[in-house]
Amino acid sequence: MDDDDQPLHIAMYPWFAFGHLSPFLSLSNKLAERGHKISFLLPDRTQSKLDLLNFYPNLIQFIPLVLPAVEGLPPGSETTAEIPVALHHLLMAAMDATKPQVKTALSKLKPDYIFYDFTYWLPKLASKYGIKSVHYCTTSMAAISYLLVPATNKVEKGIDTQITEDEWMQQPRGFPPSSIRLRRHEAKAMSFITYRDYGNISFHERLTLSFRNADALCFRSSRELEGRFVDFIGDQYGKQVLLSGPLLPKPPSFKLEEKWDKWLNQFEPRTVIFCSFGSECRMEKDQFQELLFGFELTDMPFFLAVKPPFGALTMDEALPRGYKERIEDRGMVESGWVQQQLIMAHPSVGCFVSHCGLSSVTETLVNNPQLVLLPNTGDQYIIARLLAEDLRVGVEVEKREDNGSFTKENICKAIFTVMDEDNEIGKVVRENRLKMKELLVRDGFEDDYMTDFIEQLRDVDDDPFRD
């Protein structure tokens, strides 16, 4: 058998958040589909939540790890879904403390490669066993290009020197032609996001070191979506950049719950607004209510699936007085998990209001709903600009420049822009959306990317720690 036909053995060790665990498992499934072996390191009790998404259990082996106790971290916490954002740094510290377990696992497994994201110390550990390390990034190349390349640190600042608001609002030196820029309120937020403690070092330093220490960098994207950023990131870090393709979700094997299917079937095709902000996003109560009022103002049916806002324990507590009665016949507000992919594909859904998480956006692009963008934090700001201004496949909700607040009128306007057949901006967006969908679902599109990805992976240069 030719060396290029030999099955690879790849270990996976993603950050303990479902927005990272799921894409790593999606990539694992794509690799296992071609006969490659996967050893997937993850928290012990979290395994049961991912078992059903392991489509090749004969080739994908879960390697459970026990998280060491960390002062302040609630006992039993294993993922970010179980704790507030303010405690994420403690979970990161617990993940770092699994290093001895990871070392033992790698010494026994001896995989060819290990894919990781936040554990910046992993490449050096892996190199001791001749294992090549690949930083697999679950956000967009545009976001990394703007927020986390060395050129972001203006005037050759040190790796952990704080960047000013004005500097955050400027594109890094050499940034590819693009309309992407942070706004004032986003620049203020980035100063906190990137320099907050994240397990004994700052978030910014952790991510930058994770990129610098890798043998190669990998993104779940494509040249058709973000090709202009491939060479920029590669040049900035001096690394080979691999693209896995967008890793489109497989159609679920189960059906939409009967109660939701029955509710959606009441409405005409492409008339329902669907809104979901993921498992971790929470809004301030006043903005949450503006969102609700914005949907009400459209006079269109809507399905809202979000967490209660800060300060509210239940959804009923968060709803404005009389709201439930006013929207009873055409509105649904849910706080629990819903079958997002199946709801998105329902014929009645015509618009998706997204917080701009990359997985949700990808699901939208291969379905039919028009896209309204309401970014909440970090990389979501950049993804929103990429989609609304560079690719023009969605419309972003207008916000105040100074504090990022929006009104019900802003929500309503963005929805009407993509839904109104006579709106000129909407026409352009709808045409671009259709072209993008046709490209992404084209026969062979994903297979070609995966073939190239595996070929390039075999050619990854030796690790940066070897003399």
**Coil/strand/helix, residue 284:** coil
Annotation marks residue 117 as catalytic = yes
Cα(444)–Cα(336) distance, rounded to whole angstroms? Answer: 36
Quick one: which of 46, 34, 40, 43 has its CA closest to 10? 40
Q: Is 461 left (phi over 0), alpha (psi -120 to 50) or beta?
A: beta
DSSP 278: T
User: From CA 301, how far away is CA 258, in angstroms rounded?
Assistant: 18
20 is catalytic: yes
Rg (alpha carbons) of the chain, rounded to whole number: 22
φ and ψ at residue 277, rounded to 5 degrees: -115, 20
Which one is catalytic: 20, 135, 204, 346? 20
Using a 10 angstrom Cβ sphere, with 0-12 exposed, 13-18 middle and 19 or more buried, the burial of residue 445 is middle
Q: Could you tell me if residue 161 is left (phi over 0), alpha (psi between -120 and 50 degrees) or otherwise beta?
A: beta
DSSP helix/strand/coil, 137? strand
**CA 241 to each of CA 141, 147, 457: distance values in angstroms, whole numbers, following the listed order:** 10, 17, 10
Which residue, 359, 341, 356, 340, is CA-closest to 393? 356
Token pair belonging to 13: 């060790």
Q: Which of 88, 96, 112, 117 is catalytic?
A: 117
DSSP 202: B
Which residues participate in catalysis according to the annotation?
20, 117
